[in-house]
Amino acid sequence: MTVVDRLGNGRTTFSVEFFPPRDDEEERVLWRAVRELEPLDPAFVSVTYGAGGSSRDRTIRTTGRIAQETTLTPMAHLTAVDHSVAELRNVIGWYAASGVRNVLAVRGDPPGDPNGEWISHPEGLEYAEELVRLVRDLGDFCVGVAAFPHGHPRSADLDTDADHLVRKIRAGAGFAIAQLFLEPEYFLRLRDRLAARGCDAPLLPGVMPITTPRVLAKFGELAGVPVPSAISDRLLPLADDPAGFRRAGVEVVTRLCERLIAEGVPALHFYTLNRSKATRQVVSDLGL
């Protein structure tokens, strides 16, 4: 089934995201998480993509294994970073041959410095909407794109960023997944901006259970904005109490998810960091 099919059952569900393992031990950790989450029937699972080298190869292999060896619906990630169009066609062909029919198409960050200048491959693509069209042209794929509640760092303002997102969807994307945020208003305002432009594609919020001070710091890095002071003031005093920090961090994210469910989101997209325990706890507490 496609991601859009899996989201169309009229109830809030959830999905999970993994990153490609760097070695055999990380691969064992990843597959333990996959097997622990499989009985909960997430709408789909995705594996992030590193351009070039072993990371890319492990992404392709892991996504293919999920398609072939589990009951889960896999979604492959694909970026335009350091790829010619010919190479992109090849990767898309590998996904198709592995039985993968869902692809998240993102332009990707400059290698080495996410905030550096974007330079396209001389025989590659410049924009994510071009990648969406390429994937759709090469097969019967369901394509997703990235969305930015706080605005993409290279967008002039939030309205311009929403215009870019709409163009990606109108290029053939069927849904969008939002980057991390901790204040629901940013996500809900983005959804309102899409609706005002006549765009009703499913928009999924990206969430990540906050289990350690390191994860809290990573949250701010991935979101691209400082952690709200109300949350850091609550959690950081517990930095020397691992169990207390974990309880409070999971509760913060659970309350966020409750607000999003009340606002009618089709699914919650969990960034798992290749672990399942905290995600399973939030999913259980929410009754999903």
Q: Is residue 27 packed enough to be buried (19+ CB in 10 Å), middle (13-18) or exposed (0-12)?
A: middle
Kind and range of the H or E element at 54?
helix 53-69
- Alpha carbons 267 and 178: distance in angstroms, whole number: 11
Q: How far is Cα 96 from Cα 187, in angstroms, rounded to an integer?
A: 32
Q: Is 123 a catalytic residue?
A: no
The total number of residues written for the chain in this structure: 288
- Return the DSSP state at 139: S
Query: With 0-12 CB in 10 A as exposed, 13-18 as middle and 19+ as buried, what is 168?
Result: buried
Geometric angle at alpha carbon 70, from 64 and 74, rounded to 5°: 50
CA neighbor of 164 nearest in space, from 190, 202, 129: 129
**SS3 category, 16:** strand
How many other C-beta atoms are found inside a 10 Å radius of the C-beta of residue 119?
12
How many Å apart are CA 79 and CA 81, to the nearest integer?
A: 6
User: What is the DSSP pairing of strand 45-47 with strand 142-147?
Assistant: unpaired
- Catalytic entry in 17, 25, 126, 130: 17
Please give the positions annotated as active site: 17
